[in-house]
Structure 1
Amino acid sequence: MSLRLLQMRAADGTRSVVFADGGKAAVLGGVATIRELAQGAIASGMSLAEAARACPGGAEIDLPHELAAGRFIAPIDHADPAHLLLTGTGLTHLGSAEGRDKMHRDAAMAEHKTDSMRIFLEGLEGGKPAEGQIGQQPEWFYKGDGSQLVGPGEPLEMPGFAKDGGEEPELAGIYLIGPDGTPFRLGFALANEFSDHVTERHNYLWLAHSKLRKAAIGPELLIDQAPADLRGTSRILRDGKVLWEKPFLSGEDNMSHSLANLEHHHFKYGLFRRPGDVHVHFFGTATLSFSDGLRTQVGDAFEIEAAPFTLPLRNPLTRAEAADAPVAVRVL
């Protein structure tokens, strides 16, 4: 059975960590955040699971009940949001080139491969190097800092200037940088990477603009395994009814890159190995409602679920007010 960690926040703001082993879950004594638990594990040379088991056990928790009550928050955060980075890689899954290529092929001559297809094929050829070797680097993007991280049940807000608010169901790796600059993978979370596909479709060079916005991760941090063949369902609800639904695949068996290769090409940059920083890194997807011609609207709800996670990730779609004037920069 899978081991998961969750973070709860009571009405008075009190924080607690929940350790779930299969169908059983209980509060951990002595720690208030998963980051605190991970820091202790690093300092003591334990695994995260060992550190959780070493904590005194508290009250048992009914996970679906607490989720419905809105008490779970994102399973990782940082007291200073500037020290949590949201990043990701694209064109990493065996079917991921199809949707992207549909967006971009009109901009290229029919007899030439699009740049998106070239990146995908290069990853397919060299994205899973032998152990100890460095493989082809993937597409990479920045989404923001911890202020952009959305937890379960919280709204995914489109910026006022956005052309679209589209879901991207995937896995996210959660990392903490140790005191000596070593990246430690704490585990994995279900994620909705959330992008503006209309902007991206206009010109793939606008990918950076399409990605710089909110992103959501599910309530559970899976800590004892790296899913090789993750199979889940992504759906969009409108007025409480399923508008669109489709299975999605993730995990290394369904990817053109190994996790180790994606991790290397992110953490090879020294600025991403700053002690104490937290990283949420999105590993990509091959399933988009946008590719099926669906256009989301304010009030829709996204729902993503996949075993071995036992709880879904649900987020309503909202929009920020559009600015009625350009942002003005003052000269000092």
Structure 2
Amino acid sequence: MLLSQYAREDGSAQIVARDGTEAYQVDTELSLYGLAMDCIEKGQSLRDRITALGLRGAVDMEALYAAGRLLPPVTHPDPAHLHLTGTGLTHLGSAATRSEMHKKNTGDETDSMKMFRMGVEGGKPADDTAGAQPEWFYKGNGSVVAAPGGTLKSPEFAEDSGEEPEIAGIYLIAPDGTPVRLGWALANEFSDHIMERRNYLYLAHSKLRPASFGPELLIGDLPEHVEGTSRVRRGDEVIFEKPFVSGEANMSHTFANLEHHHFKYDLFRQPGDLHVHMFGTATLSFASGIQTQDGDVFEIEAAPFGLPLRNPLSFKPLGKPEQRVTVRSL
């Protein structure tokens, strides 16, 4: 089942469900966040609850997309309690690209390659013990989430604005502090790769950018092997198109291991918080020499996730010195 949300005329969220090609309104006034919290408290699954609620009028998802009315599949009433995070160097094809970005003049093995090897050797433990710790990064909170079809706005001090096609896990923290996975979604983990390449210690800066996920949330199990396509459109032309793969069959870590190393921190198990955790990629247009421009459109699609994730880019190349932020004393 795929779940999504669109904005009603009054701005509130309407949940949409589909199991095939047709999409229908779920017969509830609750947002997906509200419905999920209620399911957790009542011990129900989302699928069972939606089946019990029933469906009403059919929905033209493409028309809503074109009208700019699609919302992220789930949002938090307080954006400060939605956490955008991710892990890198998790996919079997990711090491070469990252290692090239971070290579040393001496030819020594890069820190990226070392971390990748740690994942290959220990990211899929055979028992319930914790495996190798992955690379981890913070992107921001709900204030920087772009809706499907919404603009990814790159800051004026950015040196690059590049897509990263990924799968994200969407989690809600139960009242007792237990992380509960709502489902999976496509995500664009938007980054500044030139800044990252300048010095690997700038990775944290390079990730503090907007992100987008959706439009639809896949509930239930994720296939072991996922195939998708990442594109960059410039006007009527596709200037980049490349397949990507994900799912545990193509990864050096299990999802359970990546989830453990995020939620092992008490900070990320605060009741009611929402988490969008992105699991990495091996496919970047930047690695193929693409320099994005203002107005380019990113498009990420994979069959299990329904509609593609599309976002235009707003990127103003550096033309003046970075303006210093002034702090005043109270």
For the aligned pair, the TM-score class normalised by the smaller chain equals over 0.9
Which position in structure 2 is the counterpart of 1:78?
Answer: 76
Deviation at 1:213, TM superposition (A): 1.0
Q: Report how many aligned residue pairs link the two structures.
A: 328
Residue pair 2:13, 2:31 contacting (<8 A) in 1 also? yes
Which position in structure 1 is the counterpart of 2:218?
Answer: 222
Deviation at 1:165, TM superposition (A): 0.3
In 1: Cα distance, 2:283 partner to 2:201 partner: 21
Residues 1:273 and 2:250 are matched in the alignment: no
Deviation at 1:128, TM superposition (A): 0.6
Give 2:28's match in structure 1, choosing from 26, 30, 51.
Answer: 30
Which position in structure 2 is the counterpart of 1:329?
Answer: 327
Which position in structure 2 is the counterpart of 1:134?
Answer: 130
When the two chains are superposed, the root-mean-square deviation of aligned CA atoms in Å is 1.4
Write out per-residue CA displacement over residues 149-186 of structure 1, whole angstroms, 9 at most, x where no aligned residue.
Answer: 11110001111100000000010110000000000000
Give 2:172's match in structure 1, choosing from 172, 176, 184.
Answer: 176
In 2: Cα distance, 1:31 partner to 1:52 partner: 12
Which position in structure 2 is the counterpart of 1:124?
Answer: 120
Residues 1:44 and 2:42 are matched in the alignment: yes
Write out per-residue CA displacement over residues 80-115 of structure 1, whole angstroms, 9 at most, x where no aligned residue.
Answer: 11100000000000001111011111x2521x2100
Deviation at 1:218, TM superposition (A): 1.9
Deviation at 1:220, TM superposition (A): 0.1
Name the SS of the counterpart of 1:308 in structure 2: helix
Alignment-mate amino acid for residue 76 of structure 1: V
Write out per-residue CA displacement over residues 289-324 of structure 1, whole angstroms, 9 at most, x where no aligned residue.
Answer: 111111111111101100112201110000369786
Residue pair 1:157, 1:320 contacting (<8 A) in 2 also? no
Which position in structure 2 is the counterpart of 1:100?
Answer: 98
In 2: Cα distance, 1:87 partner to 1:48 partner: 24
TM-score w.r.t. length of structure 2: 0.96
Name the SS of the counterpart of 1:262 in structure 2: helix
Deviation at 1:67, TM superposition (A): 2.1
Residue pair 1:108, 1:114 contacting (<8 A) in 2 also? no
How do 1:1-332 and structure 2 match up within 5 A? 3-105=1-103, 107-110=104-107, 112-319=108-315, 325-332=323-330
Deviation at 1:58, TM superposition (A): 1.4
Alignment-mate amino acid for residue 282 of structure 1: M
In 2: Cα distance, 1:238 partner to 1:42 partner: 44
Deviation at 1:228, TM superposition (A): 1.3
Residue pair 2:300, 2:308 contacting (<8 A) in 1 also? yes
Alignment-mate amino acid for residue 296 of structure 2: D
Write out per-residue CA displacement over residues 11-53 of structure 1, whole angstroms, 9 at most, x where no aligned residue.
Answer: 3313210111122321112233111111111111111111111
Alignment-mate amino acid for residue 19 of structure 2: D
Write out per-residue CA displacement over residues 205-253 of structure 1, whole angstroms, 9 at most, x where no aligned residue.
Answer: 1000000110011210000221211100001011221001000011111
In 2: Cα distance, 1:300 partner to 1:26 partner: 32
Deviation at 1:64, TM superposition (A): 2.5
Residue pair 1:31, 1:37 contacting (<8 A) in 2 also? no
Structure 2: state its 5+ residue gaps: none
In 1: Cα distance, 2:286 partner to 2:66 partner: 29
Deviation at 1:6, TM superposition (A): 0.4
In 2: Cα distance, 1:313 partner to 1:145 partner: 19
TM-score w.r.t. length of structure 1: 0.96
Residue pair 2:193, 2:206 contacting (<8 A) in 1 also? yes
**14-23 or 276-285: bigger deviation:** 14-23
Residue pair 1:235, 1:304 contacting (<8 A) in 2 also? yes
* Identity of matched residues, %: 57
In 1: Cα distance, 2:321 partner to 2:276 partner: 29
- Change in 2 beyond 3 A, CA 1:324/1:127: closer
Name the SS of the counterpart of 2:276 in structure 1: strand
Residue pair 2:2, 2:306 contacting (<8 A) in 1 also? no
Name the SS of the counterpart of 2:280 in structure 1: coil
Structure 1: state its 5+ residue gaps: none
